[in-house]
Structure 1
Amino acid sequence: MYKIVEKQKKSELVDLIKVEAPFVAKRCQPGQFVIIIPKADGERVPLTIVDADKESGLITLIYQVVGRSTQELALLNEGDMIQEVAGPMGQPSQLHAQKRVLGIAGGVGAAPLYPQLRELKKRGVAVDVIIGARTRELLLLEDDFRAFADQVYLVTNDGSAGKTGFVTDVLKELLAEGWEYDEVIAIGPLIMMKSVVDITKPINLKTAVSLNPIMIDGTGMCGCCRVKVDGKTKFSCVDGPDFDGFLVEFDELMQRQGFFKEEEHRCRLGG
C-alpha cells in the first residue's frame, strides 16, 4: 500500500498527488511512468512521474478524471492508501538538445514535459515552452515552468489566457521570427502532436513525442499500447513512451484510439 501525503486540486478535473513510493523515487528518470491501482478491485492506470524526491521517497503524479479508475483515485484524500504503484516503467527520455529546446504541452501533457525540460535546463540548455489548453483553468504547471524556463508562452482555445488559438500558432510564429531550436518536445493529444510534426518535419527540426495509448499490464504482453513507428510495431509501455515524431504513424494510432469512444462516453454517463 502506498500513502498519499499531499493532494492539490489543479482544476475541476485535474489533481496533483504526492505518494510515498521510495523504490520508484530512487530509480526513476525523466520520461518514465508508473502504473497504479487505486483499490484492490480497481483497474490499472498509467501516470507519468512528474517529480521524485529520493530523500523523502515521494513521487509526484498528475491525473485528469476521465473514467472509472481516475474517478476512484480522485475520491482518495491525504492519508489514504493506494493499493499498488508499479514502476518505474518505460524508457527514460533521450533528451538530445544541446543549446536550445522548445517544449510544447497540450493539457495534461504538461506533466510528462515538465521533468524533461527541467533536466535539460540543469544541463545548461536554454528552455522555451508553450503551454496550451482549452481554457485558463486547464493550463497546468505554469508557475513550475516559469521557475526555470527562459520563455513561457500560454495559449488557450477560448482566449481566457495568453494567445487565442492553438500551440501550433505560437510554434509557427517562433519559427517565423527566426528562433532556432535543436529539438522540439511535444506532448499532448495525438492530433496536437501530429500537427506539430506536420510543421517541424518539412524543415527537419528534430521532434520527440510521448505516446500514451491504452495500457493494461505495462510489460508489452497485452499489446494494447502497440504503435507503428517507422513501419515497425512498437509497444509504448516498454519501447516508449517517447518516440521520434517523424516516424510515428499518427493516423493509424488515432483510428485505434477512437474505437471505443462511444462506449467510453456511455460509461461516463453511467450507462
Structure 2
Amino acid sequence: MYKILKKEALNPTVTRMVIEAPFVAKRAKAGQFIILRVREQGERLPLTIADSNPEKGTVTIIFQVVGETTMLLNALNEGDCLKDFAGPLGKPSVIDGNKKVCIIGGGVGCAIAYPTAKAFHEAGADVTTIVGFRNKDLVILEEEFKKVSDAYYLMSDDGSVGEKGLVTNKLEDLITGGEKFDEVVAIGPIVMMKFVSLTTKKYNIPTTVSMNPVMIDGTGMCGGCRLKVGDEIKFACVDGPDFDGHLVDFDQAMARNTAYKSFEAHKRDEACHLLNKEVE
C-alpha cells in the first residue's frame, strides 16, 4: 500500500499529493508517469510524476478533479493509502544542459512542465518559462517555476494576473525580440501545443510536446492515445509521451480524444476499436 503523506489544494480543482513510494522515487525521471488505482475494482489512472525525492522515498502527483476516479482520489486524506502505484513508466524527457530552452505550460499541464523545467535547470541549461491560465484563480506552481527559471512569464486569458494574452503571444514576442532558443518544450492542452508548434515551425526551432493529455489507461491496450507522428503510428504511453511537435497530427489527436470522451465508460472499448480502424 502507498501512503499519502501530504495533500494540498493548489486551486479549486487541482490537488497535489506526496506519496510514499520509495522504489518509484529511486528511478523516476522528468517526463515519466505512474499508474495508480484508488481501490481494488478501480480504473487505472496514469499521472505524470510532478516531482520525486529518492532520499525520502516520495513521489509527488498533481491532478485535476474532473471525473469519478479523480474524485475518489481527492476524497482521500493524509494517512490514507492507494491500492496500486506503479512506475516509473514512459520514456524520460531528453535533457541537455548545454541549451537555452523555453518551457511552455498551459493550465494543469504546468504540473507536467515543472519537472521538465527543473531537470533542465539542474542540468545547467538556461531556462525561460512561459505559463498560461484562464484567470488568477487557476494559477499553480508559480514559486516553484520561478526557482528553476532564468526568466518567468505568466499569462492569463482575461488579464487578471500576469500579462493578458496567450502563451504563443509571449513566445513570438520573445523570438521576434531576439531570443534564440535551442529548443521549445510545450506541455498542456492539445490545441495549445498545436499552436506552439505552428509558431516554432515558422522559425525552425526544434519543439517537443508531451502527449500525456491523450493517455487513457497508460498501457497502450485501449488505443486511446494512438497518434499519427509523421508517417508513423505511435502510442503516447508506450512510445512517448514526448514527441516532435512538428510531426504530430494534432487535429487527429483532438478528434480521437473528443470522440473517446463522448462515449460512456462501458462503451469505451468499442469506441477505441472504431477509432483505431480509422487510422489503419
Query: What does residue range 88-237 of structure 1 map to in structure 2 within 5 Å?
Result: 88-96=88-96, 98-212=98-212, 213-216=214-217, 218-237=218-237
Q: Structure 2: state its 5+ residue gaps.
A: 265-280
Match of 2:11, SS state, is coil
Matched AA of 1:236: A
| Structure 1 residue aligned with 2:277 | none
Q: Deviations over 1:226-268 (max 9, x none)?
A: 111112111111110000101101110111011144457xxxx
Matched AA of 2:203: I
Matched AA of 2:106: G
TM-fit CA distance, 1:215: 2.1
| Structure 1 residue aligned with 2:67 | 67
Q: Deviations over 1:182-223 (max 9, x none)?
A: 00000000000000011101211000000021322x332332
Verify the 8 A CA contact 1:190 1:254 in the aligned structure 2.
yes
| Structure 2 residue aligned with 1:252 | 252
TM-fit CA distance, 1:24: 0.4
Structure whose residues are more often helix by fraction: 2
Match of 1:184, SS state, is strand
Q: Deviations over 1:16-38 (max 9, x none)?
A: 00001111000111100001111
Please give the alpha-carbon distance, in whole angstroms, between the structure 1 residues aligned to 2:52 and 2:262.
Answer: 36
TM-fit CA distance, 1:40: 1.7
Please give the alpha-carbon distance, in whole angstroms, between the structure 1 residues aligned to 2:93 and 2:147.
Answer: 21
The 1:261/1:231 distance shift into structure 2, 3 A limit, reads: same
TM-score normalised over the length of structure 2? 0.91
Match of 1:10, SS state, is strand
Please give the alpha-carbon distance, in whole angstroms, between the structure 2 residues aligned to 1:236 and 1:187.
Answer: 13
Please give the alpha-carbon distance, in whole angstroms, between the structure 1 residues aligned to 2:117 and 2:148.
Answer: 9
Please give the alpha-carbon distance, in whole angstroms, between the structure 2 residues aligned to 1:201 and 1:69.
Answer: 38
Q: Percent identity?
A: 48
Matched AA of 2:42: G
TM-fit CA distance, 1:152: 0.6
Matched AA of 2:197: V
Please give the alpha-carbon distance, in whole angstroms, between the structure 2 residues aligned to 1:114 and 1:263.
Answer: 32
Match of 1:160, SS state, is coil
Please give the alpha-carbon distance, in whole angstroms, between the structure 2 residues aligned to 1:189 and 1:227.
Answer: 15
Deviates most, 145-154 or 221-230: 221-230
Q: Deviations over 1:40-74 (max 9, x none)?
A: 22111111101111111100000001111101111
Matched AA of 1:215: I
Deviates most, 60-69 or 38-47: 38-47
Verify the 8 A CA contact 2:53 2:59 in the aligned structure 1.
yes
The 1:71/1:82 distance shift into structure 2, 3 A limit, reads: same
Match of 1:140, SS state, is coil
Please give the alpha-carbon distance, in whole angstroms, between the structure 1 residues aligned to 2:241 and 2:262.
Answer: 26
Verify the 8 A CA contact 1:97 1:183 in the aligned structure 2.
no
The 1:263/1:223 distance shift into structure 2, 3 A limit, reads: closer
Verify the 8 A CA contact 1:97 1:182 in the aligned structure 2.
no
Pairwise CA RMSD of aligned residues? 1.5
Deviates most, 161-170 or 188-197: 161-170
Matched AA of 1:38: V
Please give the alpha-carbon distance, in whole angstroms, between the structure 2 residues aligned to 1:67 and 1:41.
Answer: 16
Please give the alpha-carbon distance, in whole angstroms, between the structure 2 residues aligned to 1:89 and 1:16.
Answer: 20
Match of 1:172, SS state, is helix
